[in-house]
Every structure is written in C-alpha cells, then in structure tokens.
Structure 1
C-alpha cells in the first residue's frame, strides 16, 4: 500500500507523431504521445494520459463513432483495441506491416485499414459474434503504391482510398451492381487527403503539390443498386473478373481487384465521375509541400497545412479563401476538425506542438508545446501543486499537476538548463544554465527579476537554494568552484574553492545552514554558511561523486558515485552508516550500435540522480536505464522497481539483440552506420533522392535525468526521454486495514453510529480503512459535536484523520464541514503533532495543497461574482439615470403642451364678443 505507485500522467510531451482525433462530442482531443495517447479535455482544461502503452510509437489512431472504442496502431503494425471508458486494452492484433490510416464507418459496423498497397475492411469489434475481435471482411486491391488516406460516405455504402501513385480509388463497401471500384487520376503527386461531400458521392482530392480536384458523380447514394445473388447473375464469368468469389474462408475474407483501365466496364457500370474543377493551393512551388488536410462536410470547410507551418482555410465548392496564417516554422503533420467545425487542431511533430484554434473568433483554445530536446531537471513546489522543468532547449516551463498543462514558459536562457528549484515560499523559481547565468523568476508577475553571474564566464552544472531563500549557490563545471549570491541584493557573496574536479551536485541541509557539494574529485565537501563559508568536513569516496541529497530532517546524507554505489553518511560525525550496491538493479539495455553485451555495458553504469521520500525512510534512484528503484534506507534493500517505459522505438531498451537483425557481417544497424568506403562517402544508388546532408536520424536513448518526490508524499515525478512521468498512489484498489479485529464490520460500525458513539465509530471505521464508510461516519457526526469528538480522538488516529480530510477535499462539496474538522484537529492536537513533525509534515503539506486549491478556485469565483455585481449595478444606474432623464423630458413636453393649450384657450376667449 505504501509503495502502490502507478503511472498517472505524462507531462512535457503533447504530440509526437500520428493523427489527431476529436471525440464525437467535440470537447476532447486525442493525441498520440510516443507509445501512449493523451486525452485533452478542452472544456474542463485537463489532460490525462491513458495507463496503457504499445511496444513502439503510435502511428495512427482510429476512433469509433460512439467514442467508446479506439484502435491504436504502432510503427510496426501492432494494433491495440482500447476501451476509452475503462481505459484498458481489450484485444491485441498484428497487421504485420506498417499501417498508414484507420477509419471507422459512420454507422460503426466496419472499419478500413490501409497498409502497403491494399485496403482491408474489417467487421467492427462487438458488431459480430466472433471469438476474434478483428474479423476480415474484404481486401481491396488497386493501387500501385502505398495507400495514404481513407474517407467514408455518410451512409457507409462506399469509401475512398488515396495512394502515393497519384490515384484515388472509390470502392463499394457492399455488393453494388453499378459500383465495384472506380479509379480517379488527374494529380501529379501523392494524394494527401480525399473527402466525400455530405450525403453524396462527389469527391474532393488533395495532393502533395497543393492541387485540389473536384470530382462530380452522376449517381446519388440512393442510386446504388444491390448486386444480384450468385445464382441469378446474368454473366458470372464477366463478374468473376472483378470479384474473386473462390476465397470464401472467413479468415481471408473476400478480395476485390481493381484494374487501371475502366473501358471494359463502361458498358455496364452506371457510376461515372467527371472532373468539375481543379485549383492550386500552393503558390510557392516546391518550397512549400502540402503535408496535411482535413474537411468538414457540414460547413464545407477545407483546412490544408504545409511544410512551412502555413495553413489555409477555404470554403468549398466556391474555393473562397477565409484565412491564411502561419502557426509554426515546422511542418504541420496532422489536422483535425471537431464535430461542429468551430475548432481546428494542428500537430507539429518537429517541435512537439499541439494547437487548437477557433477560426471564427481567431483565438487559441489550446496552445501547448513540450521541450524541444530532452528534459534535464525538475522540481516540485512546496505544496505539490506545480512542477518546474528545464530542458536542453534553454526553456523553463511550469506545469500544473492537477490539469497537466504548462501555464508559463521562460525563455531568457540562451543555452541548456542544468538545474531548477523552487524556494520555500513557492513563488520564486531559480534556474541555472550552461550559458553562465543563474536566473530568478517571479510566479506572480511571470518575469525574470534577478540574474546572477560569475566574475569570469563559466558553465554552471548544479544549483541549490537554502531553506530561508536568502542564499543561492551554483557549481561550476570548468573552474571547479562554488559561487554564492545574495537573493536580496544580487551581489556575489563568496566563491568556494577546494574541489579538484567539476562540481556535479549541490544540496542545502533543510534544517541547518550547511551546503554539501559533490565533485568528480571523489569527495563531498560540507560548507558552513554561518562560519565564514569554511569547509566544515570533507567526506572521501572511492569513485567520482555524481549526486548528493539530504534527508528531509537533515540528519543523513546520501551520495551516489560512479562505481554504482549509494552510500549514507552521518555528516555531523563524518561516519558512513551504510551503503547499497545498485549496479545490478539498473539492468541496462543493449544499444543497437553496441559491440558488447548488455551485461558488460552495465558494469560501467551508475545512478545519476537521487531523491529521498517525503518521510525520509526510502530513497529513489535512477540513471541511464529504463528502471527507477526505491530502496529502504535502514534495511538497505530494494523495495520496488518501476519500469518507466516499454517503448522499443527508444534505444537501449532490449537486453539482447534480435537475431533477425544479425547478418554474417554483424548487426544491420552497424552495417548501415558504416556504409561507404574508408573515407565515409555513401555509395550512391540509382533512384535515390538527394536529401538534406545535415539531417540526422537516430533513436533517442532511454534515460532518467532527474527524480523528485512530491512534498505531500502522494506522488513522484521523473524527467525521462519519454517526457515528464508522474506516478501517484493508487489507494482505491487495495484493501489495507489497520489493526483489524473480527468484530469490526460495516454493520457493527453502523450500529455504534446509531447509538451516537461517534468517537468509537470513527476509530472502528479507520481500523477497517474503507473510504466510503469513513466518509459516511464523518458526515453523520453533527457539526456541533465536532469539537467534542476531535478532543476525544486517540493520538494514533489524528494523522490518519488529517490524511483522509486532505484526500476528501479534492472531491467533496462540504467544504465548511471538513474545514471545521481540520481546524479543530489542528488547534487541539497541534502541540502533539510538533513532536513528530518529520513524519506528519507530508500529510500537513497535502492538506495545505488541497485547501489552497479550493481557496484559489473560490477566490476566482468570488472575484468574478463581484465583477458581475458591479457591472449589473453600473448598468442599472445608467439605465436609472437615462430613465429619469426621459421622464424629465416627458414632463417638460407635457408642461409645454399644457402651456400652449392654455394660451390658445385664452386667445379664443379673448376673441369672443
């Protein structure tokens, strides 16, 4: 239960490759991120990465019309049938070749998969009573090159398939007498998208060179005639040329073979297409290739994206240009439109950008981008609500842990970020970079308010801030010195010298003003900040030191060295208290280009990042491996190992090389890497296009660069090659009673509750440890009895009570009731909790985070209500003033009328004799 951490979310990566898909309600967007998928809830401003993964990067996603099922296909052709309701894998299937696109029919009964030169139609899972979820119905042949895109008619009677051979094929999904297949040409480049018009067989096709062809069909959907049964067919020999009916096995399905020429069928095929128009979207020629396209049938909106990051919005069939804008300097890899056509999603794989744009109001609904290069460091805020990350791209990003979105990015650094950290207040972020600066960022005004530099240009490799937030220190990579600055004045206080190698890690003691610095010179030095920054102690080690960390209570120091050991020190007495040999627990994988085995390679590996758990009893360790290890410090044993990724698209994942990749000359990867003669000149092959000589194609290596435990103790985060992974406690699936006895049952607890023995009922409920029952007991206690019950609770259950209250704050609406419980418990038992503050601190911080979250939401709501009330009052006052002015004008008009009528009466009376 204590180590029941499960993967909960993936931050820092919003899009990698593949196609974007909106859910049927149009409120959520599904985006492939590596070998996982993330669902972005655009209405509630939340993101969630599903806890399932494929073996390779996901290349295409097909979503059922009801939004309950999704088919994920990876780069190698392995498919996962996923339930989006239970968020679990239902079935696995392998297409044996890379799949280009997957598309469900609008009625949800079938789906089409395009791979290689064929299109394969399957029965949709659950629509046919079969043991196998993927039942092949028909295989369609016709294209001479790889197929690229699919689109269905609205009634699911026909579908179109685009190909790289510059042709588009229209196939009948059922047995139609007047439409078996139809081939459309007219393009001079590969087809990027094909789209049917609403309730029609009319077709739009878009090619890579920016050409748009409009194809008009002389037959409506209702005009498709069902094919006669086999025994009533007039000419079976002629029909056998087009449909091979000999293959009647269920596994293989039927086959439809298309032909290049349609002269033989002109006499009997009534469906004909004619080109109604041709337009050109690309005005820049070869320098701007069309890479993605999407069409909304109801509002007739065509969206096209180009390699330069430009996109166009056109209204069809008039081809009126609505917008032409640029969203990036990289190619647009995928475009999707939601059901209403208001939101357009763009994915740029080059920079990992994901944008959702509302084209009518010309505003962003979502604008997210991960780190362009790998993440190097992370830090939790003191209350655990925010995470800050620094990457090789020189950006510092701040993430909200509850929503999963980045809400601010700082770009002041000009080189790779080496370390980031929060101050104890939680409103200031410090970051250090290889550009030779340490910067301080304010989260209130989102600005860089302080920059610290050294007298001589140097590259900073590590960072630490003391518990008061007054002193910031950075370690140098080239001058072997530690620099200290004052945060208030920005002045350089001192330069600590003494190390004989690059500084690898810095850490301040959380309790005392002592700085620990680790170096490659095989020593850890302790500096006393209150005693003229002198060296207090030097701890010698047997190998280069890579990481150092203090326990939360400041009484122990953990050190990771190059020989794969983690040593623990009593730094007050400079005595080593224990050590862990963790090299074998890393289980390093073998790289594709390695010429030695993984076992031999692991001998030189070690942990590069350390972090204590919130209670200080365990330590988290990671390095150049796909595993993260949790060790018990006192027992010095491995408690649990977490496999952070199973993505074989990354390097160093497999322990053994695949024998199928081995040739008589060695590994295929090694042979491809060393192609050419001794000078390294590649052998030219006929037909090969000349590419960009500066472009690099490589598999990123799996690694864990930084680990941090949440101050609340409920989660931990790791910056990896995959992104920012968050693991949280999964407390809902484990029955974990506390001091249970045979007579403690739900019925007995309810009986005690009916007798109004509230304290006893609460104690029994906590011993059974079922959340719903604890909630039922607590909410039955009258609010005027809270004071009495809180004072009579045993000391053992105070911490458990506070932890339950902190969890309940995230979901409950009874805020005042639970706040009363929290206030009474802290007021009555605060002195007792101080004696064991080290153990209770994570629970208090978790409670603070929950209360702070509600405080922020309520304050925003109150501010909004105050604004609305002021607005209503000002409008009513304006209307009142206007009304009084109108009334006064009316009174003046009436008075003038009365005066004029009185004058006329006087004149008339004077005129009478």
Structure 2
C-alpha cells in the first residue's frame, strides 16, 4: 500500500509542498523511529512540528491496520439453555448479550466472562423475539408465543411491564431509536405500539391480512414498516398509527424488511426469490433485485445505505449496489440455506449464518470468503456483530452460543 504525507511550507513568500512517501510503513512499524529517520533527510521537519508529524503517521498506521482483515477465533462456547435457542442479540458495545429460548426464558450474559447475569422468567411459552433498547441498553424486551411482551431492567432483571393485547403469538419486536416506544408484531395480523414510560398501548396497526413477521423503525423514529405473510409491506406513521403506504409487488411471503440509514429507501426480501427496493417517502417501487434461485430469507443495508446484502435458501448470498441496483458480488461456499446476513459496522465485511453448521465472513466488495467459523453441531440461525465489529456471536440449534473475537 503506497501512502504518504504532504508537507506545506512557505519559501520566499510562496506556499510550496513536498511529499514524503511512507512505503515502509507497516502496522507494526515503530513510528517514532521512522519519523526521526525521515527528519535526518528532511530539514522541513523541525523540532517544533515533529510531534505533529508523528501523530499524523500514527493515524495513517491505524488506517493501514484496519485494512488487514481481522481473523476471528473462538473465544467461548456457552451452553445457554436446555431447550433450543430462538434468537440472540447484543447490546451496543457488545459487553452483554441475550438469548431467547423454547425453555420460556431469556438469559442475559456477560460477553467477556461468559457468565449468566440474569434469567428473565415469567413467560408461559416460547420466548421468541428479543431486543435491547440500543444504543442505551438499559432495557430488554421479550416477545412470546404466550401472546404477551415483557420489558425488563438490564441491571436488575426485574420486569417493568407486561404488555397484553395481542390475540396470537408475538414473533417480532423492536424499540424505537429514542427508546420511548416498543413495537410488537404478531401472528394475529396486527402490530402494536406501546408506551414504555406509561406502560400502555398507544396504537394498533391494522391492515394486514396475514401474520406480521418483520418490523423495523426508521432512524428518526417517525415511521415503522411491517412485513407480512400477505406478501405486502406496510409503512405507518408512528405518531398517529396511520397507514401511509402499502408496498405491493412481491408474489410470496415477506421474510424481512429494512430502512436504509438516511430513511430514503426500504429493502424487502421475499419467498418469491426476489428482493425489492422502494422509495420510503412515496412508497413507489424502484427496482427488483433478482438472481437467487430459491427464497430470499434475509436482507440488510450496510450502515451507509450504499449496499444491500441478501441471503437465500439457495445457499448463496449476494451484494447489490443500492445506487446502480447491480449485483456486485456473489457469496458462494455455504452447503445449505443461509438464514441470516449482516454487515459489520464499517461495511467492508459480511457475516452469514447457515444450516450447514457454519458462519462465514466475506469481503463485501469482492465476495471473497475471508473465514469459515466452524464448530457448531447443528444449523446456525443467528449471527451478530457488536458495534465495534470486533466480536461476533453465533446462535445454533445445538443449544449453544459461540463468542468469536
């Protein structure tokens, strides 16, 4: 990697520049020694600016280090529950994570030590949907097949509220970004918004004709989308609970739906083997991203909203450019369906979880497989990065979670 710094100086009243190449700079170089070497040949680096130049070169060096792809290794295996897991989720920093299970509990874990901090008990059926109220992380929500949703204190493990009102299983939930509302989606075809402060229902989102299996707030928190088995995605106004748009076009059940970072686009994945892109403001269809030979099981944007990743039952994942709508990479290597896909926060890596018992890391630009995370004894249905992107968690049907650093 060629890199360097440019020195600006004044000579005879004119501004001039001199570039110094740093071809020898490596992630493990002693920067101070390197700059002192350059100083011997370069009179422009005076004693007064030496510290500043060292600091600049150190920052360059950090950037170089980030380009070396981090290799993850297994840090811990947690035998989390006696019955199968349903979902796993991190808090923002990744210092804690939660697991939901068929054993009717949600457990809170310390990532560094692997110790169980709390077992959240009280549901009368499978705990299916779970979430932290990130970025805060002081609350946990659990949605259950018992038709209720509970909100808990992360610190004490005490239950703040039990929300009753759905007439069938709750299968998805999400806090709004401000952490003032919780949304729940149910097999009863409705979604509900709950006020976390008052502990009561604010709105019921009526309009779908089949189960709601995906929901997502936009980053400003004024819109929410719901994806349903009725083949449509609905866009709702959070303040009024009013239906703004119905996104019609898919010919199969919706598997996932997400806003991009600046709330301008919505991406949807469906059992009809396609992924669709929509204008979030007008609700109009922008593009259909085809190519998969079986159902699209998961879709996501990178944090900048520039790229879309899709995961399919055909065992492959794909990366599309949100601007050109072109497929820029095919991620091939898994031997069975991929149920989850996510970008690392920097957006240069993609993580996939598969029924072939492995998770894989891929280069988002080239589609090259960087690493295979092996060791689970059954299908992996959940995978996540922490906010820094240096810890991964995988959840498997083998009832264990694995933490990778």
Q: What TM-score range do you get, normalising by the shorter chain?
A: 0.5 to 0.7
Residues 1:528 and 2:279 are matched in the alignment:
yes
SS at match of 1:462: strand
Q: Confirm or deny that 1:413 pairs with 2:145.
A: no
Q: Structure 1 segments of 4 or more deviating over 6 A?
A: 8-11, 46-52, 402-406
Q: 1:707 aligns with which of 350, 363, 383?
A: 383
Any residues of structure 2 matched to 1:609-758 within 5 Å, and which? 609-624=340-355, 626-635=357-366, 636-641=368-373, 643-644=375-376, 653=377, 702-713=378-389, 715-717=391-393, 720-721=396-397, 725=401, 727=403, 729=405
In structure 2, relative to structure 1, the CA distance for the partners of 1:618 and 1:383 (3 Å cut) is farther
Structure with greater strand share of residues:
2
Cα deviation, residue 558, structure 1:
0.1
Task: Please give the secondary structure, in 1, of the residue aligned with 2:198.
Answer: coil
Tell me if 1:575 matches 2:251.
no
Instruction: Tell me, yes or no, if structure 1 residue 606 matches structure 2 residue 337.
Output: yes
Q: Are the structure 2 counterparts of residues 514 and 443 from structure 1 closer, same or farther at C-alpha, using a change threshold of 3 Å?
A: same
- Whether contact under 8 Å (1:8, 1:49) holds in the other structure is no
Question: Which gives a bigger RCO, structure 1 or 2 (Cα 8 Å, sep 6+)?
Answer: 2
Is residue 334–residue 354 contact of structure 2 (8 Å, CA) maintained in 1? no
Does the Cα contact within 8 Å between 2:128 and 2:171 map onto a contact in 1? Answer: no
2: CA distance, partners of 1:558 / 1:472: 21
Q: Number of residue pairs matched? A: 311
Q: Which residue of 2 aligns with 1:504?
A: 255
Residue ranges of structure 2 left out of the alignment (5+ in a row) = 1-69, 84-99, 102-106
Answer with 371-380 or 634-643: which moved more: 371-380
Deviation string, structure 1 residues 321-357 (Cα, Å, up to 9, x no partner): xxxxxxxxxxxxxxxxxxxxxxxxxxxxxxxxx9xxx
**Partners of 2:317 and 2:227 in 1: how far apart?**
21
One of 451, 454, 460 as aligned partner of 2:212? 460
Task: Give the corresponding residue for 1:70.
Answer: none
Task: Tell me how far apart the structure 1 counterparts of residues 184 and 310 of structure 2 sit (CA, whole Å).
Answer: 23
Cα deviation code 1:253-292 (max 9, x no counterpart) = xxxxxxxxxxxxxxxxxxxxxxxxxxxxxxxxxxxxxxxx
Tell me, yes or no, if structure 1 residue 6 matches structure 2 residue 75.
yes
* TM-superposed deviation, 1:378: 4.5
Asked whether the equivalents of residues 419 and 433 of structure 1 are also in contact (C-alpha less than 8 Å), the reply is yes
CA distance in 2, matches of 1:549, 1:578: 15
Q: Residue 228 of structure 2 is aligned with which of 476, 479, 488?
A: 476
Contact 1:5 1:715 in 2 (8 A): no
Residue equivalent to 1:495 = 246
Match of residue 514, structure 1, among 265, 271, 275: 265
Displacement of 1:506 after TM fit? 0.4
Tell me: CA distance 1:726–1:447, structure 2 relative to 1, closer, same or farther (3 Å): farther
CA 1:573–1:481: 2 relative to 1, 3 Å: same
Equivalent residue runs for 1:184-203 within 5 Å: none
Aligned-pair RMSD on alpha carbons?
3.7
**Counterparts of 1:251-290 in structure 2 under 5 Å?**
none
Q: Secondary structure at the match of 1:583?
A: coil
Inter-partner Cα distance in structure 2 for 1:473 and 1:630 = 29
**Structure 2 counterpart of 1:368:** 121
User: By how many angstroms is 1:626 displaced?
Assistant: 4.1
Change (3 A) 1:471 1:571: same
Shift of 1:580: 0.8
Cα distance in 2 between the residues matched to 1:397 and 1:726: 26
When Rg is computed on C-alpha atoms for both structures, the one with the higher figure is 1
**Deviation at residue 385 of structure 1 after TM alignment:** 4.7
Cα distance, 1:561–1:439 mapped onto 2, change above 3 Å: same
With 424-433 and 702-711 compared, the bigger mean Cα shift is at 702-711
Q: CA, structure 1 residues 642+467, in 2 after alignment: closer, same or farther (shift >3 Å)?
A: farther
Q: If the length of structure 2 is used for normalisation, what is the TM-score?
A: 0.65
The CA deviation at 1:463 is 1.5
- Residue 472 of structure 1 and its aligned partner are, at CA, apart by 1.1
Q: How far off is 1:426 after superposition?
A: 2.9
* Structure 1 unaligned blocks of 5 or more: 17-32, 35-39, 41-45, 53-86, 88-353, 355-365, 585-604, 645-652, 654-701, 730-913
Counterpart Cα distance in 2 of 1:720 and 1:389:
19
Q: Structure 2 CA distance, aligned partners of 1:553 and 1:398?
A: 30
Match for residue 87 of structure 2? none
Pair 1:425 & 2:178 matched: yes
